[in-house]
Amino acid sequence: MNRHDEVLIALRRIIRATDLHSRHLNKTSGLTAPQLLILQTLNQQGQMTIGTLAQQISLSQATVTTIIDRLEKRGLVHRERDQQDRRRVYLQLDPQAQTLLEQAPTPLQDSFVRQFQELADWEQSMILSALERVATMMNAQEIDAAPVLDIGAMDRHDQAPENQELPTSPSTLP
């Protein structure tokens, strides 16, 4: 087998693993990985503005706003205007989100981070370098991405028409 085929197979396995975990997360909690990350961040950090949240999780403010809109419709978060400075709007978790967080499965990236941190510094650097090169080779260096292992749109429900099924099987992914 050619080395490039082995690389493509490894990439495909990574995509498939994230797809399977994303389906499990969505099936058990009704959340996407980015939605879970936002809820976890608000739970850990307390109330914050959308801009601060976007910086914390490395996503654009527009992307976070779209996800927050969906979470707000589900009654998981709410916006509250600052009493001193009415221009500032803070996000807060609703009690229902606490219950959901307690029942949600562990994000896939948590296991990855734990194992990655156990590697020697030189090995971490090599992996990072290789993956950054792969991202560049795939013209993906400018794609808006958070430290979340999930495939597809940041918030699938907001990115496709309600009656359109999104591609999630390995044969339909790009």
Residue 154: C-alpha distances to residues 65, 81, 159 (Å): 11, 26, 8
Residue 151's pLDDT is 52
Q: Is residue 167 part of a domain?
A: no
The enclosing H or E element of 90 equals strand 89-93
Q: Is residue 147 part of a domain?
A: yes
Residue 69: C-alpha distances to residues 47, 109, 159 (Å): 16, 24, 12
Q: Is residue 62 part of a domain?
A: yes
Q: Is residue 168 part of a domain?
A: no
Q: Is residue 165 part of a domain?
A: no
Q: What is the pLDDT of residues 94-129, one digit of tens each?
A: 999 988 998 888 888 888 999 999 999 999 999 999
CB half-sphere exposure, 109, CA atoms < 13 A: 10
Residue 164's pLDDT is 34
Confidence band of 41 (pLDDT split at 50, 70, 90) = very high
Residue-range definition of the domain harbouring residue 140 = 3-157
Task: Give the whole-angstrom CA distance, residue 71 versus residue 74.
Answer: 5
Q: Is residue 163 part of a domain?
A: no
Confidence check: pLDDT of 172 > 80: no
If one counts the domains in the chain, the total is 1
Give the domain CATH number at 129. 1.10.10.10
Residue 143's pLDDT is 80
Q: What is the pLDDT of residues 127-157, one digit of tens each?
A: 999 999 999 999 988 887 767 666 544 444 4
Residue 166's pLDDT is 36
Residue 80 gets which letter from DSSP? E
Q: Is residue 39 part of a domain?
A: yes
Q: Is residue 171 part of a domain?
A: no
